[in-house]
A and B are shown apart, each in its own frame.
Chain A
Amino acid sequence: MYSDVDRDALHVRTADAAYPIGAAAPRESYLNAARIIEVARRSGADAIHPGYGFLSENADFAQAVVDAGLVFVGPPAKVQRLLGEKTAARRLAREADVPVAEGTEPLTDVGAAKIAANRIGYPVLLKPAAGGGGKGMRTVKAEAELESAWGAATGEATTAFGQAALYLERAIPHARHVEMQIIADRGGNVVWLGERDCSVQRRHQKLIEETPGPSVDEALRERLGAAAVRIANGAGYENAGTVEFLVDGSGKFYFLEVNTRLQVEHPITEMVTGLDLVALQLRIAAGEPLPFAQTDVVRAGAAIECRITAEDPYASFLPASGVVAFMREPAGPGVRVDSAMYPGMTVPNEYDPLLAKVIAHGHDRMEAIARMRRALEEMRVAGIPTSLPFHRFALFDSDFNAGRYDTGFVARWSQRVAPDISEGAASAAALAAVLATRARGERRALATSDPPWARAAREDALR
């Protein structure tokens, strides 16, 4: 299904069947539950997979799908409701004997937030009670910042989740963001599949993820897996999910939240386990039991994902829109690209700026890094700025390579130095820069007043 601006999107063109569901504004289309369910019934589908954005963590939608006689591919509405209310999820984690960072229940006004922040101690995090994924989240370093952060976060929370309620949590400095993939069938069998380190984030949006986590040893992995399974059991979990933790410098971990859906970064877990998580989701939704037990899960090697977004790292990662004039996606052994891009694609500014995911798998972390470096150097995107320069920088950064990084890593980008290119490459680049500038000037001059036939003839002559 697609909104008006996605008419020529890759998912529409490659699907067996595609149905329009409304105007570009999410409320009119991708958040329009009634329209989506109606289209699903009309198409003869018997199940809806909600993907990983928009309605994927919306309990009302999950319920509406079931009420319409369709199967929802994901955890049932009551599980989503329980875990979607972030402060309720924290209570559940405590009851399951899983540590949580000091925090509050949902707060109604900034005055209450001030009192709570003073009790907990700065820095604190403001988080939307109704949803995760980094939207509407703010770090507050001191009381002076609290009021403006509160205003911005309530605004974003309302836009993203339809609810303004926020809660407050102690910020764990120099923490790593480590999450555990779980999968559960209807019979209550829960298996953990391994962790992903997602510490390379900017404004709480992930840019790079990898597995295994460089800071996670076998003992910590077992403890995180067991904690995730306890939470899943406590919630009556079903289908795929991710339990997010913060891990501090001493290896102590704190429960953050449960994402009751498939994650954007699920491919790295697929690469090391050899499992197809979406296929498993469909089997479980169809009522089948998990085809393996915990002891059957084997993780081989290491995998990394880079999220290539339409954001300009040279302009504080501001989202960019425009047309992809040309692109080349990498390939080869151990390289996977999940992409929405094609040449000529107009990047819409209505939605998330994610363009493509580049995933590299190797026998160990060094091989995965080597393959990712090669893939990123092979990739080209022209016409719009993308995050590719940041990813190339990161994969060559000494701290990233040593596995020494936390959620503050992106700040290193501002200390980057210009790439060391050879004399020959610089000469070629200088020539190309001149040729590109001249060609553009000529095309501009041609584009002005001439009739199309005259323009075509003159452009041919210039070729």
Chain B
Amino acid sequence: MRYEVTLDDRRIRVELGEDARFTLEDRVVAADVCETVRGYQWSITVDGESHEITVVTHDPLRLDVDGHDVRASVIDERALRARRGTGAARAERVEIRVPMPGLLKRLHVKEGDMVERDAPIATLEAMKMENELVAPIRGRVTKLKHVSGTKIEGGAVLAVLVPE
């Protein structure tokens, strides 16, 4: 299976063979892989150098690489093909999710509004604090799924933005 991995602004093609051989950017890599915490941490030596990679969170994928913080993503070849085809338009939508359960105190936008990047979308009260949810991109609010005054579960989609 082939994958496209992004590490911050770096992009690396990875191929994982049946015989546990790795190909990086079409180069076969001699890697010794040891899973040190199941599903969360790997010790990997590449060309004799040892590296410790910890998965901080899976979704979004954030890695701790030898004590450095890296934002990553992994797309497999099927998803890559789908993206090149019909999936492209759908992938353009950006969902704003509520990061933790809380009370939706105020909505600062209506459906149809244009918002700038970092503009406040809503105020959420959680952990005794009021927190602003901001627009990750410049775009149009195409959907608002909750009204102010309601309790929202962590991870729920609050709004959908379409970049313009």
Chains A and B bind each other: yes
**Interface on A for B, CB 8 Å cutoff?**
26, 135, 152, 155-156, 159-160, 203, 312, 314-316, 318-321, 325-326, 349-353, 376-386, 388-389, 392, 418-419, 421-422, 424-440, 443
Cβ of B159 to closest chain A Cβ, rounded Å: 14
CB distance from A147 to the nearest CB of B (A): 13
B26 to chain A, nearest CB (A): 13
Contact assessment for B127 and A383 in the assembled complex, using a CB-CB cutoff below 8 Å: no
- Residues of the B chain whose Cβ atoms lie less than 8 Å from the Cβ of A432: 42, 44, 53, 55, 63
Interface footprint category on B = 35 or more
Secondary structure at the A interface, as helix, strand, loop or mixed, is helix
Nearest neighbor of B127 in chain A, beta-carbon distance: A319
Chain A positions within 8 Å of B8 at CB level = 418-419
CB nearest neighbor in A for B98: A318
State the Cβ distance, B149 to closest chain A Cβ, in Å. Answer: 13
Counting chain A CB atoms within 10 Å of each CB, the highest count among B8, B47, B123, B130 belongs to: B130
Can you list, as one digit per residue, whether each of B54-70 has a CB less than 8 Å from chain A (1) or not (0)? 11111001111111111
Other CB < 8 Å A-B pairs besides A160-B128, A434-B5, 11 of them?
A321-B100, A349-B100, A377-B68, A382-B40, A428-B42, A429-B51, A429-B53, A433-B73, A434-B3, A436-B55, A437-B76
What are 13 A-to-B residue pairs whose CB atoms are below 8 Å?
A: A152-B123, A159-B128, A378-B67, A382-B56, A422-B49, A426-B7, A426-B12, A429-B65, A430-B12, A434-B16, A435-B42, A436-B39, A438-B16
- Residue numbers of B with Cβ under 8 A of A are 3, 5, 7-10, 12, 14, 16, 22, 24, 29, 31, 33, 35, 37, 39-42, 44-47, 49, 51, 53-58, 61-74, 76, 99-102, 105, 123, 125-134, 154
**Inter-chain contact B49/A424, CB cutoff 8 Å:** yes
Chain A residues near B55 (CB, 8 Å)? 382, 432, 436
B127 touches A433 (CB 8 A): no
Contact A427 B41 (CB under 8 A): no
In the complex the two chains form, what is the Cα distance from A437 to B102 in whole Å? Answer: 29
Complex alpha-carbon distance, A136 and B23, angstroms: 54
Q: Is the CB of B53 within 8 A of A428?
A: yes
> Are B100 and A318 in contact (CB-based, < 8 A)?
yes
Q: How far is the CA of A320 from the CA of B31 in the complex (A)?
A: 35
CB contact between A326 and one of B14, B40, B131 (< 8 Å): that residue: B40
The answer to whether A430 touches B14, judged by C-beta atoms less than 8 angstroms apart, is yes
- Asked if A431 and B22 make an inter-chain contact with CB atoms under 8 angstroms apart, the answer reads yes
In the docked arrangement, what's the CA distance between A430 and B67, Å?
A: 15
Could you tell me the distance in whole angstroms from the C-beta of A329 to the nearest C-beta in chain B?
Answer: 14
A349 to B126, Cβ gap below 8 A? yes
Q: Which of B39, B44, B130 is A443 in contact with, Cβ under 8 Å?
A: B39
